Amino acid sequence: MSSHPPSSFRTRVVDGVMGRSRRSRPKAWPPSTSILCPKQPSPSVLLQSDGGDELSDFRNSMPARGSGSESPVLALPNTVGVIGGASAVSTIGFLEKLVAWSSRDGGAALPFIVCSDPVLNRELSSRKRNPTSRNTDSRIDHASIVENLRCKRIFLESSGARCMVMPCHISHSWHDEISQGCSVPFLHVGECVAKELKAANLKPVEAGSNLRIGVLATDAILPARFYSEKLQNQGFEVLLPDKATMEHAVIPAVEAFNRKDVEGARNLLRIALQVLLVRAVNTIILASDDMRGLLPRDDPLLKKCIDPMDALARATIQWADSKANNEQ
């Protein structure tokens, strides 16, 4: 996957407000689709509308901070709240899937509200960029991150979201804390991918062995832990890269990617994938945005890998469709 936002989702900036270009707007989008970023000095709002004046009208209608207004931005029963992750590009990629997949049969795309915080993005990205540091956990204030994410969840709930999703591997490390007290369904990417794999009725690669799923993450501690838990709950045996593979393939691949040695990073990633495949895994979960977009789309190794965010997007659309059908 390209590291740039899809052409159909490029934005323009008008007076501090991010709005979709009318020329590139998908016709299936409902006019009330909005993207909000609260608690920022200059909040970014992306509003889908059919008229240019509606952007300023929407901004003028927003309640002042601290006003105590509880009026939701959207009142549709299938509105999805999206908490942005460490990468704004990855968040946009997830939204692209929601729009394209939910409207592929000619219907209207599902309504959603997105909250993306560049300050929080930097904090989460520092975790993603430093998987080798033994002191990463101590340098990052987890309590502050969790509280930040929880506030965004509450904001989205009050804005009208009736289901919550986080297209971010790292944020899911604190899913239980963030979702505590949530009044609406809060989908978990690990549960979504585990349920899809269970429904696929996979057969063991080796006769008499367990169904094995590999998990490859740049950070072998946080994302690997919750993916393993959710997969094991569905009866899968989970295999992670061993210490040697992490030290000589996975971590060097991240380092090569960070210094823009794409070919070197690809070759190292291929080695890490092959090490897991020779251990008879059925498929490998790429629990890293960097890894997911690193290999060319025609690379045969990708056929053995899955992007868990695809499962999250499909589960989100299924939830939205069920709510919409219940209202008919």
DSSP 225-294: HHHHHHHHHTT-EEE---HHHIIIIIHHHHHHHHTT-HHHHHHHHHHHHHHHHTTT-SEEEE--HHHHTT
Distance in Å from the first CA to the final CA of the chain: 37
Instruction: Tell me what the mean pLDDT of segment 267-283 comes to.
Output: 95
Cβ atoms of 152 and 115 within 8 Å: the answer is yes
Q: Which residue has the tokens 């501690």?
A: 221
Over the stretch 72-103, which tens digit does the pLDDT of each residue have? Answer: 777 789 999 999 888 888 899 999 999 999 99
- For the segment 146-190, what is each residue's pLDDT rounded down to a tens digit? 999 999 999 999 999 999 999 998 889 899 999 999 999 999 999
Least reliable range by pLDDT among 19-28, 64-73, 201-210: 19-28
What does the pLDDT read at residue 155?
Answer: 93
CATH number for the 192-307 domain, one of 3.40.50.1860, 1.10.8.10, 3.40.630.30, 3.30.70.380? Answer: 3.40.50.1860
Tell me whether domains 80-129+139-188+311-325 and 192-307 share a fold.
yes
Torsion of Cα atoms, 188 then 193 then 195 then 198, to 10°: -160
Cα–Cα distance measured from residue 208 to residue 62, given in angstroms and rounded to the nearest whole number: 61
Give the best-scoring range by mean pLDDT among 140-144, 206-210, 216-220, 276-280.
276-280
Q: Return the sign of the alpha-carbon dihedral for residues 266, 268, 271, 273.
A: negative
Dist. CA 17–CA 14, nearest whole Å = 5
State whether the Cα torsion 46-121-288-153 is positive or negative: negative
Q: What's the confidence (pLDDT) of residue 81?
A: 96
What value does the mean pLDDT take over residues 34-44?
39
Q: 163 near 184, Cβ under 8 Å?
A: yes
Domain ranges within the chain, ordered by starting residue: 80-129+139-188+311-325, 192-307
Euclidean distance between CA atoms 121 and 139, whole angstroms: 16
Q: Which range among 193-207, 209-223, 285-299 shows the weakest confidence by mean pLDDT?
A: 209-223
CATH 3.40.50.1860, domain 80-129+139-188+311-325, yes or no: yes
What stretches of the chain adopt beta strand conformation (E)? Answer: 11-14, 17-20, 34-35, 46-47, 80-83, 112-115, 163-165, 212-216, 237-239, 283-286, 305-306
Phi-psi sector, 2: left (phi>0), alpha (psi -120 to 50), beta: beta
pLDDT of residue 27: 38
